[in-house]
Amino acid sequence: MSQTTKITLSNDIHGLLYAAAFVLVAVQGYLQTSPLVAGHPYLALLVMALPAIIALIKTVSGTTKPGTLTQKQADLLIYAALALTAVGFSLSNATSDPNYLLVFGLIGAVAAGLKGFLGSMGITVPATAPPV
């Protein structure tokens, strides 16, 4: 019989992984146009896939302790990070200037890092008192 072990990470590591994924998204405009990445299609694919790989590792791993955020606060922080990054991506696409994605993506990375660092409290079901 095989026993599976689940990887657990601290909230500090979760925050770093969130921030790293968003920073990699923020610098995509510069990485994809650099001669090193542009000249190697497999490296370009890896650079594009790396934020998703980091997010997958973060999602699969558990946390060692509950955080200080409620679920609603954690959701708002990650939605803000995603919205900021999406706005930067849209502006960069419309203007062909990667600076918008860089600036908005880095602000989103701070929000995502805060969400990961502060963590989120698990959803608890209140205990019901037994009938008297």
- The domains of the chain are located at 9-118
> 50 CB contacts (<8 Å, ≥6 apart)?
24
- Which stretches in the chain have pLDDT values below 70? 1-6, 62-65, 120-132
Q: Which residues pair with 63 in a beta bridge?
A: 9
Query: What's the confidence (pLDDT) of residue 87?
Result: 94
Q: What is the pTM of this model?
A: 0.75
Average pLDDT, the chain: 82
Query: What's the confidence (pLDDT) of residue 6?
Result: 67
Query: What's the confidence (pLDDT) of residue 124?
Result: 55
Q: Tell me: the pLDDT tens digits for 52-74?
A: 888 888 777 766 667 788 888 88
Query: What's the confidence (pLDDT) of residue 64?
Result: 65
Query: What's the confidence (pLDDT) of residue 121?
Result: 60
Query: What's the confidence (pLDDT) of residue 33?
Result: 84
What span, in angstroms and rounded, lies between the C-alpha atoms of 107 and 43? 26
Query: What's the confidence (pLDDT) of residue 104?
Result: 93
Query: What's the confidence (pLDDT) of residue 115?
Result: 86
- 8 token code pair: 């657990």
The backbone torsions φ and ψ at residue 101, rounded to the nearest 5 degrees and listed phi first, read -65, -40
